[in-house]
Amino acid sequence: MTVIAHGIDMVDCARLREAVDRHGKRFLKRVFTPLELGYCLGKKRELEHLAGRFAAKEAVLKLLGTGWRSGIAWTDIEVRNAPSGQPSVRLTGRCREIADQLGLATILVSISHIGTHAIASVIGSKEPPRRRAARSAKRT
């Protein structure tokens, strides 16, 4: 795997709570996609899950090297979960265009959270992920 870049971000859950309390649904809809809200809202630790996704979005922007400019929207970055719970990132809009310009084929993401903080780390690669079956076949 050829790594292009890495991004990491940490979010203070109390600061995110203040933003949600101050701006309510308007803030949530501006920052998170319906899929992300559907996953997070109603969970026992919903704020931690939201903070993890917020951190992942910030980490992706660091990976892309852009910050919040060039017509990027929060919802251009969507954190999804496989049935196993493993997170992944889907890019659309301006973020997808920038990723394509950089030659990004894969973005790996890891998210962790506790009551007070959430952290996310992303790694961008030029190659798509290898399938386990292909690796197993090469070993035999």
Nearest to 37 by CA among 24, 50, 27: 50
Residue 84 has a pLDDT of 93
Residue 131 has a pLDDT of 60
SS3 assignment, position 88: strand
Which domains does the chain possess? 3-139 (3.90.470.20)
- C-alpha 103/C-alpha 96 separation (Å) is 10
pTM, two decimals, is 0.88
Q: Which pLDDT tens digit goes with each residue over 72-126? A: 999 999 999 999 999 999 999 999 999 999 999 899 999 999 999 999 999 999 8
Q: What is the DSSP letter of 43?
A: S
Q: Which pLDDT tens digit goes with each residue over 48-69? A: 999 999 999 999 999 999 877 7
Residue 19 has a pLDDT of 96
Residue 128 pLDDT > 80: no
pLDDT band at 71 (very low <50, low <70, confident <90, very high): confident
CA separation, residue 13 to residues 16, 47, 49, 53 (Å): 5, 7, 10, 11
Residue 97 has a pLDDT of 94
